[in-house]
């Protein structure tokens, strides 16, 4: 029987391996980060990683899914049951922006993963299930006329892709997103998807 102390050690080692992987992948990319280097930097034996993850692909995909869950929790922060579709949209937009500019490594890793061969059907299905609250927000918005009737993939661009573009410009120093500019960006995105 595993005690809670032993469980904490397992969780801690897994967390250390994931955090080390994120750091190394951000610095070196997917192909230049061997499992042996991850083990060395995490301070664990090479075989220890394989007790938690079957292979490098599993490790990378679990890191991706953990980060997507974290992003989702951050994005849904301060959403109240009585919020209108527009209020939800505005909060989610701002929440994603805040997450991206305060979690640059995570943002870059997730973006890199989206454009990698690691995007398997199982991973995409897990992300789709995880992001069901957003699909519901869009469906409710279309039904009540708050959103234009567009494919969800198209509507979601005005949250994810636009926010990502602004966050990258903020992080690069090319654009200082003041509160006024941030509000303007949110408004432009809302105007693009709102119902008539």
Kindly state whether residue 58 falls inside one of the protein's structural domains: no
Quote the CA–CA distance of 146 and 103 in Å, as a whole number: 31
Burial bucket for residue 21 (CB in 10 Å: 0-12, 13-18, 19+): buried
**Pair (47, 84) in one structural domain:** no
Q: Are 41 and 68 contained in the same domain?
A: no
* CATH value at residue 169: 1.10.357.10
The confidence score (pLDDT) of residue 135 equals 86
Residues 10, 104: one domain? Answer: no
d(CA 54, CA 39): 14
DSSP 8-state symbol, 131 = T
Give yes or no: residues 38 and 69 share one domain.
Answer: no
Please tell me whether residues 152 and 107 are part of one structural domain.
Answer: yes
Tell me the CATH number at 23. Answer: 1.10.10.60
Domain that holds residue 17: 1-53
Same domain, 164 and 119: yes
Q: What is the value of pTM for the model shown?
A: 0.85
Q: For the segment 135-174, what is each residue's pLDDT rounded down to a tens digit?
A: 888 888 899 999 999 888 888 888 889 999 999 999 999 9
What was the pLDDT predicted at 87?
94
Of residues 6 and 140, the one with the higher pLDDT is 140
Asked if residue 2 has pLDDT above 60, the reply is: no
Domain boundary among 53, 77, 96: 53
Length of the chain: 196
**Which of 38-42, 109-113, 114-118, 120-124 holds the top average pLDDT?**
38-42
Do 34 and 84 share a structural domain?
A: no
- Report the domain count for the chain: 2
Give residue 104's pLDDT band: very low, low, confident or very high (50, 70, 90): very high
Spell out the SS3 assignment of 160-194: HHHHHHHHHHHHHCCCCCCHHHHHHHHHHHHHHHE
pLDDT band at 4 (very low <50, low <70, confident <90, very high): very low
Residues 44-102: tens digit of each pLDDT: 998 999 999 999 999 999 999 999 999 999 999 999 989 999 999 999 999 999 999 99
């Amino acid at each position: 029987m595993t005690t809670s102390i032993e469980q904490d050690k397992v969780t801690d080692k897994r967390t250390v391996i994931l955090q080390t992987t994120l750091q190394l992948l951000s610095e070196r990319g997917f192909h230049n980060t061997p499992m042996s280097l991850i083990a060395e930097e995490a301070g664990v034996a090479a075989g220890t990683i394989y007790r938690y993850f079957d292979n490098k692909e599993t490790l990378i995909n679990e890191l991706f899914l953990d980060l997507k869950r974290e992003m989702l929790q951050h994005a849904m922060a301060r959403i109240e049951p009585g919020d209108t579709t527009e209020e939800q949209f505005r909060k989610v937009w701002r929440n994603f922006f805040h997450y991206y500019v305060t979690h640059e490594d995570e943002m870059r890793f997730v973006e890199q993963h989206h454009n990698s061969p690691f995007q398997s059907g199982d991973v995409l299905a897990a992300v789709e299930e995880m992001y069901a609250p957003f699909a519901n927000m869009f469906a409710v918005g279309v039904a009540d006329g708050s959103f234009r009737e567009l494919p969800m993939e198209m509507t979601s661009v005005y949250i994810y892709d636009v926010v990502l573009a602004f966050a990258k410009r903020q992080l690069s120093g090319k654009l200082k997103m003041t509160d006024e500019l941030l509000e303007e960006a949110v408004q432009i995105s809302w105007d693009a998807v709102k119902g008539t």
